[in-house]
Amino acid sequence: MKGGEEEKAADFANYFCSYASLYHQKQMLTDHRRMQAYHGAIMQNRGLFAGKRVLDVGTGSGILALWCAKAGAAKVFAVEYTDMAKHARKLIEANGASDIVEVIQSSVEALQLDGPVDIIISEWMGYFLLRESMLDSVVRARDRWLAPGGLMFPSHATMYWGLVSDEEDRLAKAAEYLQSTQEWHRFKREMRQYYDCDMNVLEGVYEEEQKGYYILSSFWAELQPDQCVGQGAMIKHFDMHTCTLEDVQGVEETPFRINVEHDCRVSGFAGWFTADFRGTEANPLPVPVLLSTAPDNGYTHWGQQVFYLEVPHWVPRGGAVEGTLALTRQKENIRLYDVGVKHRRHGNSQEPNLGPMQEATYTMP
């Protein structure tokens, strides 16, 4: 919540609004892979919580705070910006944890506590990890409130980038795009015919807008393993105990290379993440837990973000796709990202030609 009141107000309208609805909280609460990861990380490592002071950044319905209390925490500060805080307070009370859990309706940036905490827990992850940029708030809370040697839940987070082979979905988007530009031509004809207005000069603007919408935009998908090609490449890794506010601003141009084991048409890319609960080297969790949103891991509400190519790559067995990936915050809304991809195909030893390097910038809406 840095920046002026102005920025804050726009942020509320854009971002916080949905979290104020129980419907949206319920969608997260019914994501069982998400729930089991947090529940397991807390309940199977109760010993670490016993008698401790915990901060839950963005408590939403209050669920993580409640579990921390059940795991034996001495005190849990559960901070939530939206009116959901009022519901969280009721839920905590009804579940008999109001002695331990204090729900505080505030931004975590404006939080005042009587001293540091031993553990910070938060479910801050957005699509392709960084979307929503809530990680900023968690890093600020850590720098301000985590005691030296304290633990972060999750402790690590990693971004992955993979290849997608799915011409069916890619062509569906391409067809929608063509249809929307085709409609323009009817529109243009009618504007001239009925209303004496020549729209030609805006044709390029319209096509670009529609292309941004249908092509240069990522889509939520629940990919099946057979829609993926090769191994996802690790793009960026965050140690939640040490990453800085600067580290979490985005992803600087990062090289990737993904090998292809069967002849295939590469339709696009997919981004996903994992979050680890394993503590620090000095203080590892007795029972580490991994939350993965990879395509071979089944449904989560995060799914994967898919970025389709305008022209697919034909890659032979033994070939590869290589390039670079960068995530940059949008100027108008720092919670959203532009995803810049450079990429080219690599043949194999029989057909060793490299395709030309191609470049595209997608928005992740």
Ligand X SMILES: Nc1ncnc2c1ncn2[C@@H]1O[C@H](CSCC[C@H](N)C(=O)O)[C@@H](O)[C@H]1O
Instruction: Pick left, alpha or beta for residue 320 (phi over 0 → left; psi -120 to 50 → alpha; otherwise beta).
Output: beta
Distance from C-alpha of 153 to C-alpha of 118, rounded to nearest angstrom = 11
What is the contact mask toward its own copies in residues 81 to 120, using x (rule: CB under 8 A)?
------x--xx-xxx-------------------------
Supply the minimum distance, in Å, between the C-beta of residue 354 and ligand X.
43
What's the rounded Cα separation, in Å, for the pair 243 and 133?
Answer: 14
Residues 29-48 close enough to bind its own copies by CB under 8 A: 29-30, 32, 35-36, 39
CA distances from 100 to 45, 96, 110, 123, 178 (A): 18, 9, 21, 20, 58
- Span near its own copies by CB under 8 A; candidates 14-22, 143-151, 309-317, 343-351: 14-22
Q: Considering beta carbons, is residue 93 or 253 the nearer one to its own copies?
A: 93
* Residue 357 in tokens: 């390097």
CA distance 57 to 159: 21
Phi, psi of 63 (to 5 degrees): -60, -45
79 contacts which partner out of ligand X, its own copies, none, CB within 5 to 8 A by kind? ligand X
Span interacting with its own copies, options 180-188, 218-226, 295-303, 323-331, rule CB under 8 A: 180-188
Point out which residues bind ligand X (CB under 6 A): 1, 16, 19, 28-29, 58-61, 63-64, 79-82, 84, 107-109, 123, 134, 137
Among residues 6, 93, 132, 203, the one annotated as catalytic is: 132
Rule CB under 8 A: choose which of 6, 114, 246, 281 binds its own copies: 6
The angle, 0 to 180 degrees and rounded to 10, between the axes of the packed helices 84-94 and 63-70 is 30
Q: If you ran DSSP here, which 8-state letter would residue 200 be given?
A: G
Amino acid at 277: F
Q: Which does 64 bind (CB under 5 to 8 A by kind): its own copies, ligand X, none?
A: ligand X
CB atoms near residue 141 (< 10 Å): 25
Structure tokens at 94: 């009804």
Sort strands 219-221 and 304-315 into parallel, antiparallel or unpaired.
antiparallel
With CA atoms as reference, report the closest residue to 55 among 188, 189, 153. 153
Decide: helix, strand or coil at residue 203. Answer: helix
Q: Please provide the distance, in angstroms rounded to a whole number, between the alpha carbons at the two ends of the chain.
A: 21
Q: Which does 365 bind (CB under 5 to 8 A by kind): its own copies, ligand X, none?
A: none
- Rounded-to-integer distance, Cα 89 and Cα 17, Å: 19
Q: Quick one: 135 or 221, whose CB is closer to ligand X?
A: 135
Looking at the Cβ atoms of 200 and 349, the one nearer to ligand X is 200
Site membership for its own copies, residue 12 (CB under 8 A): yes
Using the rule CB under 8 A, give the single segment among 61-69, 127-135, 316-324, 338-346 that binds its own copies.
Answer: 61-69
The question of whether 123 is a catalytic residue gets the answer yes
Under the criterion CB under 8 A, does residue 61 sit at the interface with its own copies?
Answer: yes
Residue 147 or residue 287: which is nearer to its own copies going by CB?
Answer: 287
Using rule CB under 8 A, residue 311 touches its own copies: no
Compose the 122-141 pattern: x for residues touching its own copies by CB under 8 A, - for all others: --------------------
Residue 19 binds which entry of ligand X, its own copies, none, CB below 5-8 Å type-dependent: ligand X
Closest CA to 134 of 108, 164, 102, 166: 108
Question: Interface with its own copies includes 8 (CB under 8 A)?
Answer: yes
Q: Which residue's CB atom is positioned nearest to ligand X?
A: 58
Out of its own copies, ligand X, none, which partner does residue 60 contact, by CB within 5 to 8 A per kind?
ligand X
Q: Which is nearer to ligand X, 78 or 215 (CB)?
A: 78
Upper half-sphere CA count for residue 51 (Cβ side, 13 Å): 1
Tokens of 79: 């901070």
Q: What is the largest CA-CA distance in the chain?
A: 77
Closest CA to 343 of 356, 326, 334: 356
Reply yes or no on whether 332 is catalytic: no
Which of the residues are catalytic? 123, 132
What are the residues binding its own copies (CB under 8 A)?
A: 4-10, 12-14, 21-23, 26, 29-30, 32, 35-36, 39, 61, 63, 66-67, 70, 87, 90-91, 93-95, 180, 184, 187, 190-191, 194-202, 205-206, 209-210, 213
